[in-house]
Amino acid sequence: MFFELSEAHKEFQKRVQRICEREVSPLVEEYERKKEFPLPLYRTFGAERLLCLRCPKEYDGPGLDKVSECVCMEELNRICAGIGAGFMVHGGLATDPILRFGSESLKQTYLPRAVRGEKIGAFALTEPDAGSDAASIRTIASKDKDGYRLNGSKTFITNGTICDFVTVAAYTDPGKRGIGINLFVVNREDEGFSVIKKLRKLGNHTSDTAELAFDGCYVPRERMIGEREGGGLEQLEETLKSGRITYGARSTGVGQATFDATLSYVKQARRHGEPLKRSQAIRFLLAEMATSVEVMRYTTYRGAWLFDQGIATMKDASMVKLFCSESVQKIVQKAMAIQKAAGLLMENPIQRFLRDARLFKIPEGTSEVHHLVIARELGL
Ligand SMILES: Cc1cc2nc3c(=O)[nH]c(=O)nc-3n(C[C@H](O)[C@H](O)[C@H](O)COP(=O)(O)OP(=O)(O)OC[C@H]3O[C@@H](n4cnc5c(N)ncnc54)[C@H](O)[C@@H]3O)c2cc1C
């Protein structure tokens, strides 16, 4: 057993850290305030080949592995979870189904431009009446000439107002619950596609979230992902398996940032004339936080390694998502307990980490859903 990142991964990590410090850090406060995604970052990260990291060279991608993707996501989320959310959806949920299950022509059309940050992707599964239970979506893709007409609405869609294309889940056969779903790529300019409204959230303010409508939106057959009708749910599950491991990296990044900020606070704060770091209660809390971050990191990179070997199961991915997204809640609560009133100040990043971390329990399977998946895989 070997628990270190390889030399190549360490070099990559240093490069991502330098780019995040130089390009992302200076933008965070301004764009958090504006509640907008800093769009120029798409071109910057595209030029650095830090979007769609697992996309192979033949589509202009860097062709890296899942471990690298987690390294990048951990570093990015250490600086800003909202920006991490946008890039995660673009390089994962929106483009992964095209890369893994799409035709060669779909790949050539969408992937190189997504890799370079010239086109932004979104992914639309959730609906006003269908969240955790994906099989209960109501968006329909009815056959029309050489393609399909999509009718339905989607909500909580990351990159919704800024996307150029969106990978959408819809029923080609609503009679076959779950099995009759397909994924389609819809272009922003397609007639019948519209953004209903931008949604305001508790956290991840720099990530763009929207409600979308598909009103008789025509999509040619070539933009259906996969060769046959049905099977979209399996494509979704494979895509989500990867995304759930990425959530481990996102949680680890926010956990590390919270720990770092709290440690530096404790090192300079004084209470009753004594340095705060002398308090055993405070020292114990910091020791617990540091331990949690380390365990989250090992769990995540083990999951990423299993994914790279092609042997990660749904249970592995669910365990990473459940453990890490719940652990980061405890870390931010401990940081708040240590900093008390100071933690509530808007200029203190701890309040942002608390709000951002809370959202991690919901997308790509809520904590309750991951309990169900793990229990089922345990044969219960
Ligand atoms: C910040 C953010 C970004 C998102 N981005 C996207 C995106 O880009 N694309 C997209 O399609 N969606 C996105 N979503 C939606 C997200 O995937 C859903 O919110 C999630 O699947 C949960 O659905 P829901 O909110 O409708 O809750 P529900 O499914 O209605 O669940 C409500 C509650 O019931 C629990 N529950 C549900 N089913 C069960 C069960 N069988 N047993 C026990 N408990 C259960 C849940 O855990 C939860 O506590 C995003 C959400 C957020 C918060």
Per-residue pLDDT of the chain (380 residues; tens, 9 = 90+): 888 999 999 999 999 999 999 999 999 999 999 999 999 999 999 999 999 999 999 999 999 999 999 999 999 999 999 999 999 999 999 999 999 999 999 999 999 999 999 999 999 999 999 999 999 999 999 999 999 999 999 999 999 999 999 999 999 999 999 999 999 999 999 999 999 999 999 999 999 999 999 999 999 999 999 999 999 989 999 999 999 999 999 999 999 999 999 999 999 999 889 999 999 999 999 999 999 999 999 999 999 999 999 999 999 999 999 999 999 999 999 999 999 899 999 999 999 999 999 999 999 999 999 999 999 999 99
Task: Let me know whether 103 and 27 are in one domain.
Answer: yes
Considering the domain architecture, whether residues 156 and 45 belong to the same structural domain is answered as no
Annotated catalytic residue: which of 32, 69, 211, 364?
364
Those residues whose C-beta lies under 8 Å from the C-beta of residue 119, and which sit 6 or more positions away, are 110, 113, 164, 165
Do both 155 and 70 map to the same domain? no
The three-class DSSP label of residue 354 is helix
Q: What is the CATH number of the domain that holds 222?
A: 2.40.110.10
Q: Note the pLDDT of residue 263.
A: 97
Domain boundary among 72, 87, 115: 115
**Ligand 1 close to Cβ of residue 79 (< 6 A):** no
Is-catalytic flag, 364? yes
- 208 in Cβ contact with 158 (< 8 Å): yes
For 140, the token pair is 């329909």
| Domain of residue 250, CATH code | 1.20.140.10
In this prediction, residue 76 carries a pLDDT of 98
Is the beta carbon of 363 within 6 A of some atom in ligand 1? yes
CA of 49 to the centre of ligand 1 (A): 31
Same domain, 243 and 327: yes
Q: Is residue 252 domain-resident?
A: yes
Helices (H), the chain: 7-19, 25-34, 40-47, 66-79, 81-89, 96-101, 104-115, 232-268, 280-309, 314-339, 341-344, 349-359, 367-377
Nearest residue by C-alpha to atom 7 in ligand 1: 157
Question: Do 89 and 209 share a structural domain?
Answer: no
For residue 129, give Cα distances in angstroms to 78, 126, 173, 186: 33, 8, 19, 21
How many domains does the chain fold into?
Answer: 3
Smallest CA-to-CA distance from 138 within 214, 209, 210, 198 is with: 214
Note whether 81 and 247 are within 8 A (CB).
no
Strand ranges inside 101-230, DSSP E: 121-124, 140-144, 147-158, 165-171, 181-187, 193-198, 209-220, 224-225
Of 48, 253, 56, 16, nearest to 8 by C-alpha is 16
Q: Which of 211, 230, 249 finishes a domain?
A: 230
Measured from the CA of 160, which atom of ligand 1 is nearest?
8
Amino acid symbol at 31: Y
Domain span including residue 298: 233-377
Residues 191 and 239 in one domain: no
pTM above 0.95, yes or no: yes
Predicted confidence at residue 2, as pLDDT, reads 84
Is the same domain home to 200 and 249?
no
Residue 1 falls inside a structural domain: no
For the packed helices 280-309 and 66-79, what is the interaxial angle rounded to 10 degrees? Answer: 150
Q: Using the atom order of ligand 1, give the atom closest to the CA of residue 126.
A: 11
372 Cβ below 6 A of ligand 1 = yes
Tell me, yes or no, whether 49 and 94 share the same domain: yes
32 Cα–ligand 1 center, Å: 24
Question: Whose CA is closest to atom 43 on ligand 1?
Answer: 368
Q: Which residues pair with 210 in a beta bridge?
A: 157, 198
**Same domain for 237 and 363?**
yes
Within a domain: 149: yes
CA of 322 to the centre of ligand 1 (A): 14
Residue 2 in domain? no
Same domain, 244 and 359: yes
User: Is 296 in the same domain as 358?
Assistant: yes
The CA 263 to ligand 1 mean position distance, Å, reads 34
How many whole angstroms from 170 Cα to the centroid of ligand 1?
A: 17
Q: Is residue 12 part of a domain?
A: yes
> Which residue, among 67, 61, 129, 72, has the nearest Cα to 96 in the 3D structure?
61
Give the residue from 191, 241, 230 showing the smallest Cα distance to 213.
Answer: 191
Asked whether 129 lines ligand 1 (CB < 6 A), one says no
Last residue of a domain, one of 47, 81, 115: 115
